Amino acid sequence: MLTGRHYKLGEFVFWTRRTIYVLIVLSVVPAILYQLAGLKWLTIPWGVIFLLGATVAFAAGFKTLQTYNRMQDAQQVWSSIVSSSRIWGTMCRDLVADSASARELVYRHFAWLAALRHQLRGVMAWETASKVYNEEYRRRYHIQEREESLQDEVARYVGPDDAARILTSRSKALQALDLQSRETKRLLNEGIVTSSAFADLQKVIRDFQEQQGRTERIKNFPFPRQYAFINTLFVRIMCVLLPFGVMGEFARLDDVVEGWAKGNMVWVGVPLSILISWMYASLDRVGEATENPFEGGANDVPITRLCQEIEGDLREILGEVETPSRSREAADITL
Tell which residue, 335, 334, 331, has the closest CA to residue 7: 331
CA distance 175 to 198: 19
One digit per residue, the tens of pLDDT, for the chain of length 335 reads 566 667 788 888 888 889 999 999 999 999 999 888 878 888 888 888 889 989 898 888 888 888 999 999 999 999 999 999 999 999 999 999 999 999 999 999 999 999 999 999 988 888 888 888 888 877 777 888 888 889 999 999 999 999 999 999 999 999 999 999 999 999 999 999 999 999 999 999 999 999 999 999 999 998 888 888 888 999 999 999 999 998 888 888 877 777 776 777 888 889 999 999 999 999 888 888 888 999 888 888 999 999 999 999 999 999 886 655 444 443 455 66
- Please tell me the predicted confidence (pLDDT) of residue 2: 62
- Please tell me the predicted confidence (pLDDT) of residue 4: 62
Say which amino acid occupies 303: I
CA distance 286 to 257: 39
CA distance 42 to 243: 10
Q: What is the pTM of this model?
A: 0.85
**Domain residue spans in the chain?**
9-317
- Give the three-class secondary structure for 301: coil
